[in-house]
Amino acid sequence: MRGWLIALGVLALMVVGFLFVRGPSPVIIVAPEHIFDIGPLEVTNTMFTSWFVVALICAVAIIAGRNMSVVPSGFSGAVEALVSGFYGIVVSVAGEQNGRRFFGLVATIFFYVLVSNYFGLLPFNMVLGKPEAGHGEKQVYFRETSLLGLDVAYIPVGPDECEGAECIHGAAPGGTALVAAEEGETPSGTSGLLAPWFRSVNTDVNAPMAIAIFSFLFVEFWGLQSLGPGYLKKFFNFGGLLRGKPMGLIDVFVGFLELLSELSRVVSFTFRLFGNIFAGEVLLTMMTFLVPFVLVDIFFGLELFVGLVQAFVFAMLTLVFAQTAVAMHGGGEHEAAGEGHH
């Protein structure tokens, strides 16, 4: 009997959510939206959100650093435990010397990506913003208000919608006037689309690409720093060919494949992170429209897990590639193994 009651309660929540609380019909836009300008700089919503993420991480570091003690406790202790735990993982993979060397970059990537992913799940994302001309015929009614002296547009619970010629002057729930937006015009009143101020940072392909490029550059720098110019022989091995050995062609081809493999990491890093986070944003948007209660909570929990996994994978792959780049090759590797055996 209890199981039937639970099932009926869940069904009732799904019906009520779909009829009265569901969001607007989703308009999936891949590119980040432009929201304002700072001189010649066009600021997008993902860029604006990234500034908040950086400010949040800096604020946490400053607050935690002020209360550090020999025996940490409270908020500082929690932050120190989190950082120390991640440092232990880095050292277990790369060793003490290289672990300390790589920790700054690897930890920065992990915590920045993690906080960016979780910040993108906060409820004010994709809700507050500025009105803009609609993409195609689809329009969504929203309301406008003033917040801290700024004009803010927001999507209310259960917004009305219109398409094409159906977008006419009318009244929204609560008496808010609705004004139609002609094609190509900036919508007035409360009809049109919303360019949100806040959007998950990694749904903009430029963000994961920038992180991937930094990861690539640091890995190659550490390889050159540790092994000197000899590190480049992994990519440009012309020694055998210059000595007239036919097998030197194989060395050149293998070096080309190694170089291609290194460059392909930037692409794989970028689209792995972008694809997972953007797909999660689309999934949550669709579930909020279709089933606001019950199911959307399940997918929200899934996105919390995905956000953590993607940050950890990005950081750990950077660590492994860095450790591989600085590792000794050939005889030096065998000598080190022999010393360890003795």
Q: What is the pLDDT of residue 144?
A: 55
The whole-angstrom distance between residue 255's C-alpha and the CA centroid of its chain comes to 33
| Surface-to-core class of residue 53, CB atoms within 10 Å of its CB (0-12 exposed, 13-18 middle, 19+ buried) | buried
Q: What is the pTM of this model?
A: 0.77
pLDDT beyond 50 at 327: yes
Is 60 within 8 Å of 126 (Cβ atoms)? no
3-state helix, strand, coil in the chain (%, to 5): 60, 10, 25
Place 193 in a pLDDT band, splitting at 50, 70 and 90.
Answer: low
Mean pLDDT value across residues 122-142: 63
Question: Who wins on pLDDT, 49 or 73?
Answer: 49
pLDDT, residue 5, reads 75
Separation CA 224–CA 212 (nearest Å): 19
| Residues 56 and 115: beta-carbon distance below 8 Å | yes
Q: What is the pLDDT of residue 117?
A: 95
73/166: higher pLDDT: 73
Q: In the prediction, which pLDDT does 332 show? A: 40
Report the percent of the chain where pLDDT is more than 90: 36
Predicted pLDDT at 335 = 39
Q: Do residues 112 and 103 lie in contact, with contact meaning Cβ atoms separated by under 8 Å?
A: no
pLDDT more than 70, % of the chain: 69
Q: Taking Cα atoms as reference points, which of 116, 127, 147 lies closest to residue 49?
A: 116
What does the pLDDT read at residue 328?
59
From CA 105, how far away is CA 87, in angstroms rounded? Answer: 12
**Lowest mean pLDDT, pick from 193-202, 228-237, 293-302, 330-339:** 330-339
In this structure, the strands spanning 138-141 and 161-163 are antiparallel
Note whether 200 and 125 are within 8 A (CB).
yes
- CB-based contacts of 177: which residues, under 8 Å, 6+ apart? 169, 170, 171, 189, 190
Alpha carbons 177 and 190: distance in angstroms, whole number: 7
Q: Examine the pLDDT at 212 and tell me if it is beyond 90.
A: yes
Cα separation, 122 vs 196, whole angstroms: 13
Residue 282 has pLDDT above 70, yes or no: yes
